[in-house]
Amino acid sequence: MFLLLALAGCTQDQKTVYDPEMQMLFHPVMHVPTKTDASNDYPENQPFAINAWELDRTLQWNTDSQAADVYMAEALARKSDAEHWALLDDALWPSRDKRLTVIAYSPAADFEGCTSSDGVSCTYDMKENQADLLYTDPQSDLDKVECGGVVVLPFKHALSQVKFHVKNRVNKSEEIIIKSITVDNVISSGKFNSLPEPTWVLTEETMELPFFEGEQMTGSVPYPIGRTWNVIPQLLNTVVTVEYEYRTASDTGFTQTLKTCEMCTDLEQGRQYNYTLSVGIDEVQFLLEIIEERFK
């Protein structure tokens, strides 16, 4: 009799785990590594893909990811309201005896896949593609109740960005008109994996990056010129070629093409490199290099 009462008491003392059915929702943002006033908004209405794995809640992703089971693969998300995104095919969280780890990436068509060991994978060729590759680190060991059913996704940039400003170094009565700006011998293709740490493996294929072609007047204050390129992170040990026209007050002058000194910049993913060129009668100089984190 005593044994039966004891067992009954144990059963009554057991607490039922709160395990509601919850739809999977997502809140994408841009990863901001430092305190800043810059926007961290994810690109408006740009779909992303989700891969998710489930683990017993007694295990952890950092040490037991090899034991994780695929919960969903290449699931596409759409915006459902001002802050939240939902899967095109609505999905529920697993029961609370499991925890989820999620990796997201965008644009989905530009990535080859996503695994628990390599993260997201992509073969990228700048000659054919200028998509801004975005991905997240594993958002690991998520409990649906603790996070309110919403997975926050801090996206990172897999690429660098390069852009130019120009100014002149001539008298007010003289003019410098830029006709073209190109960057020589940039490695144009490579393979990216985000795990175990973000890594680019580069090919030996190179290209010239045409930043500007046309006619743009310069002044004494730096002014943006041409396009911005998404560039594979690399040691940019190369020169800039500038073609420009010089004119005097009497409307005489000449057109010539000059090269700068070597840039010697180690491009890092997720950063924007803004170069200012100062153009004189017979020389083009780097006036300033501004390196910024990219937030959008």
**pLDDT at residue number 89:** 86
Same domain, 95 and 215: no
> 114 and 79 share a domain?
yes
Is residue 162 over pLDDT 80?
Answer: yes
Residues 105 and 67 in one domain: yes
Q: Strand pairing partners for 41?
A: 29
Residues 26, 152 share a domain:
yes
Structural domain range at position 278: 160-189+204-293
User: pTM of the predicted model, to two decimals?
Assistant: 0.88
Residue 94 forms part of a structural domain: yes
The CB-based long-range contact list for 52-58 (8 Å cut-off, 24+ gap) reads: 52/100, 52/101, 52/102, 52/103, 53/100, 53/101, 53/116, 54/94, 54/98, 54/99, 54/100, 54/101, 55/98, 55/99, 55/101, 55/141, 56/97, 56/98, 56/99, 57/96, 57/97, 57/98, 57/99, 57/143
Residue 13 has pLDDT above 70, yes or no: no
> Within a domain: residue 4?
no
pLDDT beyond 50 at 4: no
Share of the chain above pLDDT 70, in %: 90
Whether 141 and 170 share a structural domain: no
Does residue 97 belong to any structural domain of this protein?
A: yes
Domain count, the chain: 2
Is there a single domain that holds both residue 223 and residue 265?
yes
Residue 175 belongs to some domain of the structure: yes
Check whether residue 108 and residue 144 sit in a common domain: yes
Task: Identify whether 196 is preceded by a cis peptide bond (ω within 30 of 0).
Answer: yes
* One domain for residues 122 and 243: no
Q: Residue 12 falls within a domain, yes or no? A: no
**CATH classification at residue 264:** 2.60.40
Whether 14 has a pLDDT exceeding 80, the answer reads no
Q: Are residues 177 and 99 in the same domain?
A: no
Tell me, what's the pLDDT at 39?
56
Q: Judge whether 15 lies within some domain.
A: no
Band of residue 38 on the pLDDT scale cut at 50, 70, 90: low
Instruction: Looking at the structure, tell me whether residues 26 and 106 fall in a common domain.
Output: yes
Q: Of the segments 43-47, 212-216, 262-266, 280-284, which one has the largest average pLDDT value?
A: 212-216
CATH at residue 28: 2.60.40.2620
Q: Is residue 198 part of a domain?
A: no
CB 240 within 8 A of CB 209: no
Asked if residue 166 and residue 138 are part of one domain, the reply reads no
For the stretch 66-80, pLDDT in tens is 999 999 999 999 998
Are 148 and 262 in the same domain? no
- Report residue 21's pLDDT band, with 50, 70 and 90 as the boundaries: very high
Note the pLDDT tens digit of each residue in 228-251. 999 999 999 899 999 999 999 888
